[in-house]
Structure 1
Amino acid sequence: MSRLFFSPQMMRSFLGGLFILLAFSAGARADTLSASVDRDTISLQETLTLTLRFYAQTSDSPDLTLLQKDFDILNTQQSNQMRVINGDMESFTDWRIALAPKRVGTLEIPSFTIEGASSDAIPITVESQNRAPQNASSDVFVDVKVSKDSVYVQEQILFTIRLYTSVNLNGAEMTPLELPDALVVDLGENQYQTNINGRQHIVVERVYSIFPQHSGELIIPSLTYNVSVRSGQRDPWSDPFGNRRNNLLRLRTEEQRVNVNVAPAQFSGQDWLPAKDLQLTEHWSTGTERLKVGEPVTRTITITADGLTAGQLTPLSLPAVDGLTFYPDQPQNDDQTSNKGVKGSRIETLAIIPNRSGKFTLPAMRVNWWDTESQEMKTATLPAKTVQVEDALGNITPDPLPVPPVENPPETTPINTDMESTTPDIRVVNVAPVWLIVTALVLGFTTLLFAWLYWQARRELRAIHSFYIAEKTQDHANETAAWNELKRAAANKDYPATRTAIIHWAQAHWQDPQLQSLQAIAERSNNDALRAQLKKLDEILYRGDAGSDWDSSELVQEINNYRRQKHHRQKQQDSLAPLYKS
């Protein structure tokens, strides 16, 4: 195997080019400003959080006076971050602004401008006095809400649990929601303020998506909140937690019941897909007007459903087309979650290799689904697609023309029977034996066939090997960048940033975007020492104790030990023979 040697000058050039590439990728989304809110429908007594993100580092700040017409600004936080996603470096600046509405109605968060980039305006619906939950007179209480009391099987239910407190808390822990006959997806936790009966409360809200798997009655059991309450007055916004004497409370939610119906008789589709919306989209790696024989082209088909997980989306039916060979890749599933539910997507990628020139039509694709809003069956469609394939000379074989029917019989030629008047025409032709011709043709065809098969196999092996190496390198780069981000946050004793960095690292380490909390990471690690350190960090964050003397180096060391174990196992796997020798 040959080796490559780099001179110092070549190495400097390479590193310089790499720096320029990273800088270009970091600036690919520069001059972009986005705006988002955690909730777009609130009551007059509640608060919301506005997040502005500028995709670059900047010293400018948004003009927040534009908000003062309709909102009171309660708190503002700014942060600068840098991360690597799928090999692309991304740098951005965030502003998080806590807002309280001034009036009832449809308010608007205006558009902001930073360095020439503008964000979109966001409408906010503000309702009048919110419904006071039961036990609202208590200092600490819980309330639950179910989005629907009657659904179809596998239809999404939003289950919301809210913990209200008007006093100082030192911690709160809820028993996990487990349902044997349903799929449960944790959509995350959110905090805001509200005013109930003239008293200011902090609300800790957690939302779950529930997908019942069987018809009948679904029972959501009573859940227990273990709350540690400390005495003394406090500012509910700036210091919701503390370290004083604690009183323990056990708060229980009410049991909820939901009627689950079978799929309606009006649905005639092959697979039952209840959703708010479902879309089919496609993308081609190149134009389809002039494809080449033997050159692959990639077709990517994405099915996206609002109200379904990616695991509920079934594979698409891909009919064969004469003249085209299909090589399907492993499908990719992705779930996007918010407090409004789950949006799942299934991405199917096909490598298509034309075997001959001509015009080919890929038939239309259709997916029937049930609209849970309008209560009717709908069909998502990808129209038929015609591709043109040319040969090596740039020619496209036309469609064969129909053979016209014979209308009149052919004229007959009279036969001369006068042997004496006929001049004989004698030709001598030397013809090779038939078996020799057939043997030569068979040998030539066999040689060409084996040569073509060898070339195709070697080409596919190289492509598979290159894809494997690139994918492994990319995963390692993502995990390494997340690890460096984790170490920086821990060294700065920025515990919220450390928590975020640990989640990013865990998602890259296990290749699982569903890891959204420290508790989930601790369970996934199956490591007692790491689990104890993650629990300590969670407790500090829940108390809001930013000035804690906790030494995060032990947590960093435990994570580093876990990484080394994986890298050791990976080296043992890499010691196997390569796919092919170069």
Structure 2
Amino acid sequence: MVRKTFIPSLLSVLMTALLMLSATPALAAFIASVDRSVITQNETLELTLRVDSQSFRSQPDTTPLKKEFDILGNRRSSQFQMINGKTESWTDWIITLAPKRTGAITIPALSYNGETSEPIHIDVRHGNTTAGSTNSVSPVFMQTSLSRQEIYIQQQTVLTLKIYYNTQLVGDSSLTPLEVNGAIVQQLGEVKKYEELVNGRRHGVFEVQYAINPQESGTLTIPSLSFTSSIAAGSDPYNNFFSMQRARPVRAQSADIKLDVKPVPKDYPANTPWLPASNLRLTQKWSSSPDSLKAGDSVTRTLTIEAEGLTAAQLPPVTLPTISGLKTYPDQAQNEDLSGPEGITGKRTEAIALVPTHAGTMTLPTVKYTWFNTTTGKVEQAVLPATTITVAPGNTLITPSQPVPAATTNTLPDSLSTPTNVPLDLGAPITKQGTTFPWIIATAVFALLWLVTLGLYIRGRKVSISNGADSSPSPMPSENLSEKAAFQQLQQACQNNDLLQIKQRFIVWAGCFNNLDNLYSLSAAANSFGHQELKDLLNSLEQSLYSGKSENAFDSARLQAIVSDLRKTHARQKSDPKDTILSPINP
């Protein structure tokens, strides 16, 4: 009985070992990272060294670190996981470092099993060595500082709040939220935890940073914040449940801070959005080369504005003039706020689809974006130079210089039974040409055939009703597609400018999008949205299909833009945004 139990256990151990070996690459990557790159001389930082394999005995050589840092701690963590048959494993060494000097310090490249990490640059600044000296007898105290004491209206300053403690904190800790009247406040990242030497004694530190953008000039008051927690009432080396019963509450409070906010400078250009930033970049990229365009083709121009010290909501759109012979379809702008140790960097991205309507040379004028450099105190402009593009003639485009044929015939697939002749203008008078006798005979024959067809239809309808059959037209087959797959097929049809495929794929996508199973015509699909521009556009699609006009007469790029907007609006309505709350501070 013991032997039967031992054999499966041995097999299990062997399989686990094989999995670990299979998860170890021939050359495991060795990566170094830090929790902070800007610290003061009295603070510590954590260096994490990661290798993509399991390591139980050997460890990296950390001797090169001792030249610039004191090594205060070193711990190892190994992880192994399997997801969908794919195995991953790694080992982390977390090293606590204290810098020996101020200034720019480089964590050198470290080696492990033939792999070398990248060096990391650290900025060690002068710290207040007497921080909290008046409160050094208190187990918990707070310190606040501003990156700038005097700023312009809407300019950003960073408030750094540090909570020092020299005893063990037990239970939950909390910090009152920061609310500043007349200013926009955003927390930068998560709460940081490290150690700092204060008056020769090592303290634990919680650090929280806030970006503050005042919206009014004058003196702004940043109110005090309160931190509450509990400390053990006596010495308890086990830190168990009973120590919680003997805990006593502790509270610390920061001081109010006055901030001087200056108005907009008088020399700033009038009627120009006020943009005070420490740096601003304007860049562009194209979905494809604009020099390879043909008339009727589309290309997407993406403009990106990044402003250090401003939120994305403060950035106005780029002003682009109208260009003759070029249709523009702007997408909804994407805004993003990026947090960093120096504050918020606002990022605004604008994508514009450009469709030239005829061949020739076109010049996209210079793009200028005016802003105020808070570092130099000067007005500056981010500039994109003018771009000249040459548009080649389209394959089927009829330009005004080309002769327009008297009649056009558009050959469609056999699956369509609709006549492809140019439609008759029912409002125009009929002109007599030659004898009318053949025309009268043809009209009588067609009328007779129409009556026979009508009779057969009524008879067939009665039979189907009597048999209990559904007499409604057959819906457009959805091919069991998901909405995303149907949208991708519609996009492909628009890019190919295949009008028949566009029609069929739109009906299928509309059924998937609106969860309708009985769509069988383009007009029904259009009516399911209640979108007037979309209905007009699809009406022009029908006319282009059956009128014999050139395919370039239909604006497939605009259809793509409208459909994309509908999907984005639907996605936003489905999302359930939740309020962001601060994570509790846990020691």
TM-score range for the pair, normalised by the shorter chain length: 0.5 to 0.7
User: Greater CA deviation, 299-308 or 190-199?
Assistant: 190-199
Shift of 1:102: 3.1
Shift of 1:516: 7.3
Q: Name the aligned partner's letter for residue 100 of structure 1.
A: A
* Equivalent-residue separation in structure 2 for 1:460 and 1:139 (angstroms): 66
Answer whether contact 1:167 1:231 (CA < 8 A) is retained: no
Deviations 1:60-119 (A, max 9, x none): 9654333232223323454669999xxxxx998765432112345542211346775742
Answer whether contact 1:369 1:377 (CA < 8 A) is retained: yes
Give the secondary-structure state (helix, strand or coil) at the position aligned to 2:63.
helix
Change over 3 Å in CA distance of 1:337–1:52 after alignment to 2:
farther
Q: Name the aligned partner's letter for residue 99 of structure 2.
A: P
Give the secondary-structure state (helix, strand or coil) at the position aligned to 2:555.
helix
Answer whether contact 2:43 2:196 (CA < 8 A) is retained: yes
Match of 2:356 among 338, 342, 354: 354
* Equivalent-residue separation in structure 2 for 1:378 and 1:212 (angstroms): 22
Partner of 2:373: 371
* Equivalent-residue separation in structure 2 for 1:57 and 1:209 (angstroms): 40
Shift of 1:122: 1.0
Shift of 1:281: 0.7
* Equivalent-residue separation in structure 2 for 1:380 and 1:83 (angstroms): 49
Partner of 1:456: 555
Q: Name the aligned partner's letter for residue 374 of structure 1.
A: T
Shift of 1:321: 1.2
Shift of 1:509: 6.9
Answer whether contact 2:37 2:122 (CA < 8 A) is retained: no
* Equivalent-residue separation in structure 1 for 2:262 and 2:128 (angstroms): 35
Long gaps (5+) in structure 2: 1-24, 400-428, 432-542
Long gaps (5+) in structure 1: 1-26, 85-89, 398-434, 438-443, 476-507, 519-537, 544-582
Answer whether contact 1:167 1:234 (CA < 8 A) is retained: no
Deviations 1:312-342 (A, max 9, x none): 1111101111111111111101111123211
Partner of 2:316: 314
Q: Name the aligned partner's letter for residue 346 of structure 2.
A: G
Q: Name the aligned partner's letter for residue 247 of structure 1.
A: R
Normalised by the length of structure 1, the TM-score is: 0.61
* Equivalent-residue separation in structure 2 for 1:340 and 1:83 (angstroms): 39
Answer whether contact 2:396 2:552 (CA < 8 A) is retained: no
* Equivalent-residue separation in structure 2 for 1:122 and 1:195 (angstroms): 22
Q: What pairs with 1:388-407 in structure 2 (closer than 5 Å)? A: 388-392=390-394
Answer whether contact 2:544 2:553 (CA < 8 A) is retained: no
Change over 3 Å in CA distance of 1:446–1:322 after alignment to 2:
farther
User: Greater CA deviation, 445-454 or 274-283?
Assistant: 445-454
Answer whether contact 1:35 1:120 (CA < 8 A) is retained: no
Shift of 1:146: 2.0
Answer whether contact 1:225 1:250 (CA < 8 A) is retained: yes
The percentage of aligned residue pairs carrying the same residue is 34
Answer whether contact 2:295 2:355 (CA < 8 A) is retained: yes
Answer whether contact 2:303 2:351 (CA < 8 A) is retained: yes
Answer whether contact 1:70 1:107 (CA < 8 A) is retained: yes
Answer whether contact 2:234 2:246 (CA < 8 A) is retained: no
Change over 3 Å in CA distance of 1:462–1:305 after alignment to 2:
closer
Give the secondary-structure state (helix, strand or coil) at the position aligned to 2:586.
helix
Answer whether contact 1:298 1:349 (CA < 8 A) is retained: yes
Partner of 2:534: none
* Equivalent-residue separation in structure 2 for 1:81 and 1:286 (angstroms): 43
Partner of 1:298: 300
**Aligned pairs, how many?**
407
Shift of 1:362: 0.8
Q: What pairs with 1:108-187 in structure 2 (closer than 5 Å)? A: 108-112=106-110, 118-125=117-124, 127=126, 130-133=129-132, 134-170=134-170, 171-187=172-188
User: Greater CA deviation, 263-272 or 111-120?
Assistant: 111-120
Partner of 1:338: 340
Give the secondary-structure state (helix, strand or coil) at the position aligned to 1:97.
strand
Partner of 1:256: 257
Q: Larger radius of gyration, structure 1 or 2?
A: 2
Change over 3 Å in CA distance of 1:82–1:345 after alignment to 2:
farther
Q: Name the aligned partner's letter for residue 161 of structure 2.
A: I
* Equivalent-residue separation in structure 1 for 2:80 and 2:269 (angstroms): 50
Give the secondary-structure state (helix, strand or coil) at the position aligned to 2:203.
strand
Partner of 2:39: 41
Change over 3 Å in CA distance of 1:79–1:329 after alignment to 2:
farther
Answer whether contact 2:50 2:92 (CA < 8 A) is retained: yes
Q: What pairs with 1:160-559 in structure 2 (closer than 5 Å)? A: 160-170=160-170, 171-187=172-188, 188-233=190-235, 243=244, 245-268=246-269, 270-392=272-394, 452=551, 455-456=554-555, 460-461=558-559, 465=563, 515=580, 517-518=582-583, 538=584, 542=586
Answer whether contact 1:104 1:128 (CA < 8 A) is retained: no
* Equivalent-residue separation in structure 2 for 1:325 and 1:305 (angstroms): 29
* Equivalent-residue separation in structure 2 for 1:71 and 1:445 (angstroms): 74
